[in-house]
Structure 1
Amino acid sequence: MAGSSIAAGDLYGAGVRVGIYLQGFGMLLPIFRSGTEHGRGLKIAAGCLTLSFLASWTLLASKKLFSPCEAYLILHILTSTSIPAFLAVHNPRTIVGEGIGLIVLMVTHLWLVGAFTWTCARLVYTLPLFDTANIVFFFGKTICLATLVWLRYVAELLIVAWLAFQHDQTELSDRDVKGLDVSDRLVKTWWALLWKFKALRPSVRAASEHERVVMRIRSSMGIATVEKTIKWNGLVPTTDLTSPGQLIPLVVGVTVAADGVAAWVSPRGRPSGGLERRIVS
């Protein structure tokens, strides 16, 4: 059997994958509605979930208990858990007062990008293959050693880390937002709100419409990467849904997805005028 039995059971088993996909789906649905309180508590919830998996991933990677392609696909699974939280940053009704959630989300993003960088720059050469073909999905079949995508993650890690310490501006103007890519814009927004709790400018909230499309594409690409990598390397994830490690995330995923569908079909709420004026002023 190809791959690590530990990772196949704990980090990308059938229950874990389906549960995380459903959680991401359930958390994304309310975000695509306007005039709602979406995103309240989502930043710290999604951030803590991702951090717990990242801690396990880092421990297994340091002990060389999975292959390079498994390390890569697990990180893509975790990406889908944090995407809804990134989008929730732009809801002006739920951002103020969630400083701890913003800190958790920023740490999660830095850790996740750092893990991708570590994988592509170092782990692909040092981790054992565990009888895998070492092939990953990157717009097609790609040898993990030859992806060269680690350059992107190095650049993103440096950008995010640098912007995290550039908190001289406490309010984001239209001029500040123009020319920034998604990661830059998000981190500048997080840091400004974290320190001074300033309101989101209308241009920043409008920019989130573009990010919703980008994040949906990233989520779809992440799922394709995971499933194709499992198939091409002959990996055998655990399918025993009676085990707690598979059943717990699956049940949580079904519950979150049901809640997201309920929020999607419910009538749209209208915010109070006073709150809206205080937020955008």
Structure 2
Amino acid sequence: MKKLTLLIAITAVFTACKKEVKKEIDQKEPTVEKYPKALLEVFDKHGSIANWDKMKTLSYSIDKEEHTTDLHSRRAVINSPKYSYGFDGQNTWVSDTTKFKKDPKFYYNLYFYFYAMPFVLADDGITYSEIEPLEFEGKKYPGYKISYEANIGNSSDDNYFIYFDPATKEMRWLGYTVTYFSKKPSDKFNVIRYNDWENVNGLLLPKSITWYQKDDKGNPTEPAGDPTEFKLPLLSQASLADSFYEKPNQ
């Protein structure tokens, strides 16, 4: 029902915008020189940064949680039958701290970063460096390390490692470090396999991901658990009202 309500809200906003008479402003294509050529090919394979930048609202479900993010402001709301939490553009909030006891500042965009790959790796304030390929079942996947300039996001010392299929250019693996809780740089990284992709309004987004165990060289060996599935995806050029991302009244 929540997903249907969200879809109706987005459709209504999009329809209203179409009825307004506005002077169209030509949008410049993003500067591609700042991306390594091979990584730009990955972005293009998944639908291109230009098309991603046109989108304003992203929504998907994980288990019983429905995640919605404003792609330009990165405001977010996560709704479940028992609680909701999110980020209103200035502060994080929780509807019921007795039912959701985790830190919303860390969790409100955690799955967004995993789901919006590879496009979140085109954000401002990022530097790229080529790294050794990751190897799995005899196949090598070229990769790039993504690091952040100081004071970018909540954990600027985090690093991501994107690996892609050299033939298809699809993203296939993600390595990452977590420094949010320790506030210190870390060499220990986790690795996720991107199992499959689906076309959502012209962009390839993941249907499921799986965390993997690693060998002493950092290469994945076997699944560390069941896949995480993303369902009911919605990607729209319409924005939701500011009030959608605010903490609900008690």
Bin of the TM-score, shorter chain as denominator length: under 0.3
Q: Tell me: higher relative CO, structure 1 or 2? Use CA pairs within 8 A at least 6 residues apart.
A: 1
- Give TM-score scaled by structure 2 length: 0.24
Structure having the higher strand fraction is: 2
Structure having the higher helix fraction is: 1
